[in-house]
Chain A
Amino acid sequence: MTDPTREAATQDPATPNGAEPVDSVEHAARTPELDQPYRELGLADDEYERIREILGRRPTEAELAMYSVMWSEHCSYKSSKTHLKYFGETTTDEMRAKMLAGIGENAGVVDIGDGWAVTFKVESHNHPSYVEPYQGAATGVGGIVRDIMAMGARPVAVADPLRFGPADAADTRRVLPGVVEGVGGYGNCLGLPNIGGEVVFDESYARNPLVNAMCVGVLKSDELQLAHATGTGNKVILFGARTGLDGIGGVSVLASETFSGDETGSGRKKLPSVQVGDPFTEKVLIECCLELYGSDLVVGVQDLGGAGLSCATSELAAAGDGGMRIDLDTVPLRAEGMNPAEILSSESQERMCAIVRPEDVDSFMAVCRKWDVTATVIGEVTDEEHLRIDWRGECVVDVPPRTVADEGPVYQRPVRRPAEQDLIAADDANTLSRPATAAELRETVLRMAASPNLCSREWVTGQYDHYVRGNTVLAQPSDGGVLRVDEETDRGIAVATDCNARYTRLDPYEGARLALAEAYRNVAVTGSKPVAVTNCLNFGSAEDPGVMWQFQQSVRGLADAAAELGIPVTGGNVSFYNQTGGDPILPTPVAGVLGVIDDVTARIPTGIGAAPGESLLLLGDTREEFGGSEWSRVVHGHLGGTPPRVDLARERLLADVLGIGSRDGLISAAHDLSEGGLAQALVEMSLIGETGARIVLPEEADPFVWLFAESAGRVAVSVPRGAELKFTELCSARGLPCSKIGVVDDESRALEIQGVGDIPLSELREAWEGTLPRLFG
C-alpha cells in the first residue's frame, strides 16, 4: 500500500532511512527546486503554482498536505461552487426570516418557535463505505453527528438515505449488510433514534453505493455556536480521541477521484487508510460538549472531519480574527513517529476543536476530566493574519488561513447537455405494453409490492433503534419521521429525504424539483409544516460535461423549487466522482426537508383502520404518467420518456390542507403517492394498519393508470366517519381535487379492488415482506 503523504515524507533526499529532519518554512525557502509529489496528492500543476505564488516559495511538506486536502473537491467545492451560488441568489429575505445559520456553516439552523431551534444536515460517505462497508457507514454517521454538535445542538435523531446496486448482485450482498450494520451499530450505540432514510437499488450504484447520513439536532435558539477563532490570546483546545494514522489523505485521494484501484495502470493503488470509529467515545464527547456549551466555556467550536486538523485550524482562523499559532508537539498522538503532514491530515474520528478564553481553560479542562475526555491546549489565537504551526521548535506551516480554507481554486467546468437526452425523452414509457385483464392487474400489484424498491424495508430498519430517547412519534415505515422536541408543549419536528434518480436521469431540472416536492409532501403527510431544505448532491465525475450539466440543472431545479415552496435551503453537501469506469451513477440530488408540528399528538400515521368506518380519498390529479416509473422498471426494465409533471403551488395547497386536517382531526391516516403509485400506497396503508379496504375507482378511470401512474402532488387519506363532509368541503373550498376511492373495511382481511379482484392481506404481506429477508437474511 502506498500512502502518498508518507511518500512525501521520505522523498526528500536529505532524509535517508526515515531519520526525518524537519521540512521547515526556512528549509523550504532554501530548497526551492525540491521536487514535491503534489500530483500524487491530487493537486493540478496550476494549483501547485498558485500555492507557490501565495507563499512566495515552495510549500513545506506540511503546507502541501494542508493545501492538497483543503483544495480537494470534497473540501473546497471547487467544481460546484460556481453553481451553488444559485441557492443564495434565489433565497429571499422572507425565506431567510427563520434561518439562524445557513450555507457555509457546519449545518443550517432554523428557529422553530417556543425558543427552540433545529439544525439538520446530510453528508455523503460513499467511497469509504464501498471499501469498508461497516466502518465507512459508521464513521459517516459519526461525522454528521459531530457537524450537528458543532452548532451547539444536542443530536436527537439520524436517518440514512442509502443506495445500492441491483438487490441480487453479489457485491450488493457484500456491501448492504455491512452498511446497514454500520449505520445501526454507530447510531444505536450513540443512543440516537433512526427515524427515516431510504433504501434504493439501481444498476448504476453497483460498485458505487451511496451512503448518505442525516443528523438532526435541537438547541435553544440563543445557544447557537459558531466555528470561528476570535479574541487574540484565546486558547485553541483539541479534545476527544487521540490523533492516529487513520484516513490520511482520505479526502483528497478518495472522495475526489474516481475509485479505480489499480485499473488506471498508474501502478499506484489508491487503497485508502480507512477509519475506525468508536461510538462510545463520541457519546461521551456529545455530553462533554453540551456541558461546555451550557457553562459558556466556548468562544468557537469546530468538529474534525475530512482533512482533520488542517481543516479545523484553517477554517476556525479564516472565520475569526485570521491568526492562529499551533504547536504540533502538544497534539496527543496514538501512533509513533507521525510527521507534521500526517498529524495535520489525520482523519481520526471523535475529535473536536474549541476556542476558549484563557481564564476559562481550567474550567474547560475540569469538564473534560469529568467526562474522561482527553483535552489539550494546542495553540492560541493571534492577530497575525497567519496560521503558524510549529513542530520540534521549527515553523513548518506559515500560511494565510483564508488561502487554505476559503480561497481555493474555483473551476468553471465545461457543461454540456448530452445529445442522448433527446433519445431518452423520446423513448416514451406510456407506450409500453400494459396489463389488460383483472388477473394481470392483480398479478402486477403483487409483483410490484415484492419488487426490491417497493418491498418492506423492515429487514433494514429493524436493525436500527427507532425509539431510544423516548421522543419518537413516527419512524419507518412512515413517510416522514416525527420527533417531539418540547415535552411540555408537545411541539415537534418532522424530517424526510427523497430522490427518485430515475426522474433526474430523464430530466435533471424537473427531477430535482420532484425530489424536493416528494420530501416536502412526506413531511406534510405527517401533519407537519415544511420549513427548510437541505441536500446531498451525489453525481458522477465533475470532469464529464454531461455530468456537470446534470449537476447544474439539479441545483437550479432544487433552488427554484425551494423558492416556489417558500422555504430556504439551509445547507448541503456535494459528492462528485461517483462512478465506476466511465459510467456515472444516476444523478442523485437527495433533498431533505424539515417540518414543524405544533402538537405531535395530532400527527397523521400511515396505516388505516385506526378509526371505525373510515373513507378513503385520493387528493390530487392522476395523469397517464409512466416515464421513470417503478412499473416501467419492474415490468419492462425500461427508463425513458419524461418524468411526471410537478406543480409546486399544488404541493403547497396539499400541505396546507393536510396541516388543517391534522389539526382539526379530520384525517386518520395519510400516505404520499410516489414510486409504485396508488396501488403501492394502498398496499402499504393496509399492511401497516393491518386492515383491509374496498376500493372502487371512479367510473371514468382507467384502472391501470389510476393504480400505477406516478403523478406527483397526490396523497391518499383516510377520513374518520363523520369528518368526510367537512374534509371534502375543505378541499373543494380550496380547489384541491379530491376523489372518493373506497372505504376501510375493519372486517375484511383483504384489499379488494373493483376490476382487479381481492388480494388477502396475508398474500400481500408475504409478497411485501419476503423480498429483503430472502436476499439478505
Chain B
Amino acid sequence: MARVVVDVMPKQEILDPQGQAVANALPRQGFEGISEVRQGKRFELEVDDGVDDDTLARIAENFLANPVIEDWAVRRVES
C-alpha cells in the first residue's frame, strides 16, 4: 500500500473565481501583502502496490481532473 496524492489546479491561464474571491477577502480580513491566490483540490488515494504510474495518470487525467481547464500532478508519498 502506498499513499498517492493528486493535486488538481485550475490551469494558469484560466480564471479562478474561487481563488480570486479569497484573494479579495484577505485584505478585508486585515491580511496584507498577498497578491494572488489560486485554489485547487487535493486527493489522497491509498493504492495497492500493483497499481502502476500509467494507471494513476489515467485516473487523474480522466476522472479526477477536467484536463480542459485543470492541470494535475500525481506523486507517491511515504506512508
Contacts and interface: CB of A to CB of B under 8 A. Distances in A.
B48 interface: no
A335 B21 CA distance: 17
Contacts of B15: 241, 244, 246, 275-278, 334, 348-349
Contacts of B13: 244-246, 273, 335
B14 A246 contact: yes
Contacts of A276: 10, 14-17, 69
Interface in B23-79: 24, 66, 68-69
A244 B15 CA distance: 7
Contacts of A303: none
A132 interface: yes
Interface residues of A, number: 20
A280 B20 CA distance: 11
A348 B21 CA distance: 17
Nearest to B12: A335
A464 to B, nearest CB: 20
Interface in A114-132: 131-132
B14 to A, nearest CB: 5
Interface size class of B (residues with CB under 8 A): 10 to 19
A274 B68 contact: yes
Contacts of A277: 15, 17
A246 B15 CA distance: 7
A403 interface: no
Contacts of B10: 276
B67 to A, nearest CB: 10
A276 B12 CA distance: 12
A275 B69 CA distance: 8
B20 A274 contact: no
A281 interface: yes
A536 B20 CA distance: 34
Contact of B14 (A274, A280, A281, A372): A274
A335 to B, nearest CB: 6
Contacts of A245: 12-14
Contacts of A280: 17, 21
A246 to B, nearest CB: 6
Contacts of B66: 132
A183 B33 CA distance: 36
A135 interface: yes
Nearest to A346: B13
Contacts of B16: 276
Which of B12, B14, B24, B66 has most chain A Cβ within 10 Å?
Answer: B14
A245 B21 CA distance: 19
Contacts of B20: 278
A276 B16 CA distance: 8
A349 B66 CA distance: 20
Interface in A125-170: 131-132, 135
A244 B38 CA distance: 14
B52 to A, nearest CB: 26
Contacts of A241: 15
A135 B14 CA distance: 11
A276 B20 CA distance: 13
A245 B20 CA distance: 15
Nearest to B10: A276
Q: Specify which of B13, B14, B16, B69 lies most central, judged by the most chain A CB atoms within 10 Å of its CB.
A: B13
Nearest to A372: B24
Interface string A230-249: 00000000000100111000
Interface in A200-253: 241, 244-246
Contacts of B68: 131-132, 274
A3 to B, nearest CB: 9
Nearest to B11: A273
A344 to B, nearest CB: 16
Given A275-B14, A275-B15, 6 more contacts: A132-B66, A132-B69, A245-B14, A278-B20, A335-B12, A348-B15
21 contacts: A132-B66, A132-B68, A132-B69, A244-B14, A273-B13, A274-B68, A274-B69, A275-B14, A275-B15, A276-B10, A276-B14, A276-B16, A276-B17, A277-B15, A278-B20, A280-B21, A281-B17, A335-B12, A348-B15, A349-B15, A372-B24
